[in-house]
Amino acid sequence: MSNPQQQAAVKILLEQLIVLVGPIEFGTVELVFHQGKLVHLAKNEKLRVE
């Protein structure tokens, strides 16, 4: 179970990710961690053409 400090850190991280990634209708967001640290963030957005 995570402690309140970890929960607060996760909340801050999620808020920052929302700002960085922005709105995405279709696609993926990939987070890569190395030794417990976020080292890479990739956003792959798909566009639907009708």
Tens-digit pLDDT profile for residues 1-50:
578 888 888 888 888 888 888 888 889 989 899 998 889 989 999 988 88
pLDDT of residue 1: 52
pTM assigned to the model: 0.60
Beta strands in the chain (DSSP E): 27-34, 37-45
Q: Which amino acid is located at 14 in the chain?
A: L
Q: Are 46 and 27 in contact (CB under 8 A)?
A: yes
Q: Are 16 and 22 in contact (CB under 8 A)?
A: no
